Structure 1
Amino acid sequence: MDTYTLVNGISIPRIGYGTWKNLNPKECVNGIKYALELGFKHIDCARVYANEKLVGQGILESGVERKDIFITSKLRNSAHGYEHVRKEVEATLADLNTDYLDLYLIHWPVVAGHQEDWREDNLDTWKAFEELYEEGKLKAIGVSNFSVNHLENLVENARIAPMVNQILIHPGVLLTEEMEYCRKHDILLEAYSPLAPLSVLTKNETFQKIMANHGKSPAQILIRFILELGALPLTKTIHPSRMSENLHVNDFSLTKEEMDFLATWSHPDFTPRDNQKERPPQALDAKI
């Protein structure tokens, strides 16, 4: 699989397999096995997803060597703070049955109890990330859902700048300011939920013409759009046929007119998230 190169020289596969909401044990384990068998090399996890043991089981049963897989996980909101991070990382490593993570992210910039002092909270949390990175337990470190003000706080005050920012990117939600800042500072953009507007866009006449122009599925067009933005799409499905489809997007390119349409398309159902406040509590976060 083609790769991007992070600022520290680490290669990261250009398309990721997401595990959010994969809570059915059989579906989650088999989904990982199918994904790796079909050619995915990049697995995106998070402790709050409450399925990292299942992901680890799927990796083990796949027979694929650990060195051939890029694994990402994320810090729970309730585990912010220097004193909590190491314990949290050790729990994730144990669940995934590995002794290192290829990438570890702060999942959300503003969390409960730190609405006012989020700057200090993120710097305190990030200090532990830096130490674990220097120890080799984390091969790369980054953030998720960070806007420019959150990124500036780390870039300007931390010893090591974030290497990745995982944010919501798809037609209808292009965070232009964040994307420009990340490109300027060599922070790789990862796009979660890249297929979110699929069901709405497939009814659009212009989008239908784009599909016909290339003989590609709606999902393949949307994944290609993310790649041509220079970002890394994180796809999610438990169906092998769709996994295979999502990987086969390197044999065509979108025209400037097609990119412009997708970049300017809007719909009232799709708006950026407000990440300047505490993230709404997740039921799973309280159970781990």
Structure 2
Amino acid sequence: MEFVTLNNGLKMPQLGFGVWQVEDEAATPAVKKALDTGYRSIDTAAIYKNEHGVGKAISLSDIPREELFITTKVWNADQGYDRTLQAFDKSLEKIGLDYVDLYLIHWPAPEHDDYIETYKAMEKLYQDGRVKAIGVCNFDTEHLQRLLDECEVKPVLNQVECHPYLAQKELKEFCQQHDIFIEAWSPLMQGGDVLNNEVITKLAEAYGKTPAQVIIRWQLQNHSIVIPKSVTPARIEENFSVFDFDLTEEDMDKINNLDRGERKGPKPSEMNMR
């Protein structure tokens, strides 16, 4: 495993395991398999409705709590100072832990304009020691700048859609300037054709790896935190087997040049659903 050091000094595994679109019952065996494979960072969210299943897998594991890195998120409908504190208590109860390592705002939902108060509630959770770090998801530069201007605790990361067809170069540059990591969701562009891209498939053949492994390695070498998701045991193992090779600078550039600004998910400024 490779680790990154967040801006508050906390160490976080650079490769984690995501459970988006995984039903609660399916989350338990999937997370257990991930933990058995070597993953230590697990990413869930209130809106995924699988926090209980994730927590069950953790309780079945004999891995010491301090070796795990657990992330969950507050949903749009629960934004606002008091609602966020209540939502956090519910999430903690479902997961069955005394604290989580990282708590994130799921979307800025700018139409409702609650994300500053939401973040201030998260600052309280951080100051009270109930979370080890706080951050955001799907924040554009303008949302991040407002957070930096109006809040006290700098977010440790911004979890956004990021894959070879959406490299997020400008947003990543802004985040790097402020010592904020980019964490890639949909790192393999779920439902897209990036795994079949000729550049990717040729590199996979050259390195004796799968297209997914090449893309995950590209993410890691681009200094992104990455959370691929799968419920298939063989794929869970495959996505973890990325620490035994390095892409050359030339091959990194080949993948960087695939960027076309293509999203599968919504634009952050337009995602206001509650």
For the aligned pair, the TM-score class normalised by the smaller chain equals over 0.9
What are the superposed Cα offsets for residues 192-235 of structure 1, whole Å, 9 maximum, x if unpaired? 01111686234333322211221111110010111111001111
Kept in 2: contact 1:198–1:218 (CA 8 A): no
Q: Are the counterparts in 2 of residues 171 and 197 from structure 1 also a CA contact under 8 Å?
A: no
Given that 1:143 and 1:166 are in contact with CA atoms closer than 8 Å, whether structure 2 keeps it comes out as yes
1:70 paired with 2:63, answer no
In structure 1, the residue corresponding to 2:17 is in which secondary structure? strand
**2:42 paired residue number:** 43
**Residue in 1 that maps onto 2:16:** 16
Q: Deviations over 1:11-58 (max 9, x none)?
A: 101111001111151x22111111111100000010000111111111
- What is the root-mean-square deviation in Å for CA atoms of aligned residues? 1.8
- Percent sequence identity over aligned pairs: 37
Structure 1-normalised TM-score? Answer: 0.90
Cα displacement (A) at 1:86: 1.1
1:170 aligns with 2:157: no
1:78–1:111 Cα contact (<8 Å) kept: no
Q: Does 1:94 align with 2:93?
A: yes
* Cα distance change on mapping 1:124 and 1:280 into 2, 3 Å: closer
Distance 2:5 2:259 in 1: 31
Aligned equivalents of 2:120 and 2:271: distance in 1?
Answer: 21
Match of 2:175 in 1: 182
Q: Secondary structure at the match of 1:260?
A: helix
When the two structures are aligned, how many residues end up with a matched partner? 274
1:245 alignment partner AA: E
Instruction: Write the letter of the residue equivalent to 2:233.
Output: P
* 1: CA distance, partners of 2:200 / 2:120: 45
Which segments of 5 or more consecutive residues in structure 1 lack a partner in the other structure? 282-288
Contact 2:110 2:272 in 1 (8 A): yes
Instruction: Note the C-alpha offset of 1:266.
Output: 4.8
In structure 2, do the counterparts of structure 1 residues 192 and 278 end up closer, same or farther at CA, with 3 Å as the change threshold?
closer
Which residue of structure 2 aligns with residue 30 of structure 1?
Answer: 29
Q: Which amino acid aligns with 1:39?
A: G
Cα shift readout 1:70-107 (whole Å, capped 9, x = no counterpart): 00000010011011111111111100010101000000
Closer/same/farther in 2, CA of residues 203 and 160 from structure 1, 3 Å limit: closer
CA distance in 2, matches of 1:276, 1:201: 25
For residues 5 and 207 of structure 1, the distance between their equivalents in structure 2, rounded to whole angstroms, comes to 29
Unaligned runs of 5+ in 2: none
Inter-CA distance 277–16: structure 2 relative to 1 (3 Å threshold) = same
Letter in 2 for 1:146: F
Alignment correspondent of 1:140: 133
